[in-house]
Amino acid sequence: MNCKRERSTCRVPWVLVAAGFHRHGGMDRANAALADYLARQGSPVHLVAHNVDPELAANPNITVYPVSLPAGSFLLGESLLRRAGQAIATKITAKSPRTRVLVNGGNCAWPDINWVHCVHRAWNPADRSAPAWYRVKNRLDKFLARRHEVKAFRKASLMLANSDRTREQLIEFFNLNPERVRTVYLGVEPDCTPTTAAERSIARQRLGLSLSRPLVVFVGFLGYDCNKGFDVLLSAWKALCDQPAWDADLVAAGGGRGSERWHTLISQAGLSNRVRMLGFTTRVNEVLAAADLLVSPVRYEAYGLNVQEAISRGIPAMVSAKAGIAERYPRTLSELIIPDPQDAEDLGARLFRWRSAIEKWKQHMKLFSSSLRAHTWDDMAREIVELAAQSPPAK
């Protein structure tokens, strides 16, 4: 769509309801990119959220409606977000009937656009080793999330999925009309380029890492729930480190309540000198620049933005077939797709084969990397606006 010719579509008010709009999270990063694009096109943008990047909030076309997080709990905050989203959407659409309202999943039921970043109906808990109180809370969270997404999905006139896998799950689990559900892949930064040798060296020096040893990185939440697959990676890593030929190190970037447990398990396994835990960090770009390989053995992942960011920078990424982004891998990279994310032995074997041909995989990654970089955040946002123009909100 050419916004100069379609000003009436591009400049209608938008209400966006999401937990966050910032650069430090997958879905929050995508939400921020959409809000930024709409504001730059001249649309009045109303953000209902717990957390909004200050730079974004400073845009004169953006109005922020902050929603508190009682005791820092997203479970408690979601009901407040839902009510605030409905109240603001009602107010803005009453003033401007052509307003578009976009929500995320089950966070707010509204008869317009629902951008689904995950499907709770397809996402099962992986918390067998977690404390009892956490397992109870996790199942309560999941029960409520599934109930709210059913209500929200039935009400939406247009559903946006971040992968074909997510789209298929929405159609199958919620018996939705396929014409209502469209796939929009996430974008990348417009200035994203492959990591250079100099950038790699600088990143390793700043992180205090060896300049000569192969480096594998894991980026993901490290809580009591093992959905991100760090438990399987750690098991595979222990077996690899028992082999004298294995010379790679592992760095894990991610925080969570279960972090101390992972530190203990690493120490008990005798891996303290082979596995480094960074905790929560805003230096993910630096971590990726230092890497030779990203590993993401997730049990469930609607897409996998961390994988896309790594590949876009020319870094090979080994990812579970359960992740949405796996559908975008060309056949030449099928060795990097983990068929069973709970099979530590297979994961270890794939890592060992990767180590024997590091440079080959970097070369194989170039074309795929280039194709992902060609789809920027603005391209993603533009596609959402075009689909919205083709699908008016329900009355």
* Domain limits, the chain: 7-187+376-390, 197-373
Q: Output the pLDDT for position 5.
A: 40
Q: Output the pLDDT for position 4.
A: 47
Q: Output the pLDDT for position 281.
A: 82
CATH of domain 7-187+376-390: 3.40.50.2000
| Residue ranges in the chain modelled with pLDDT below 70 | 1-10, 395
pTM: 0.92
Q: Compute the CA torsion angle 381, 325, 276, 256 (nearest 10 deg).
A: 60
CATH class held by domain 197-373:
alpha beta
Tokens coding 58:
């400073």
Query: 């109930």: which residue's tokens?
Result: 147
Query: 């032995």: which residue's tokens?
Result: 345
**What are the tens digits of pLDDT across the range 77-128?**
889 999 999 999 999 999 999 999 999 999 999 999 999 999 999 999 999 8
Q: Output the pLDDT for position 10.
A: 60
CB 158 within 8 A of CB 182: yes
CB 307 within 8 A of CB 319: yes
Torsion over CA: 31, 386, 308, 232 (sign): positive
Q: Output the pLDDT for position 296.
A: 97
Note the helical H segments in the chain: 7-10, 26-40, 54-57, 74-95, 132-155, 164-174, 197-207, 230-241, 259-268, 284-290, 305-312, 344-355, 358-373, 377-390
Domains 7-187+376-390 and 197-373 in one fold: yes
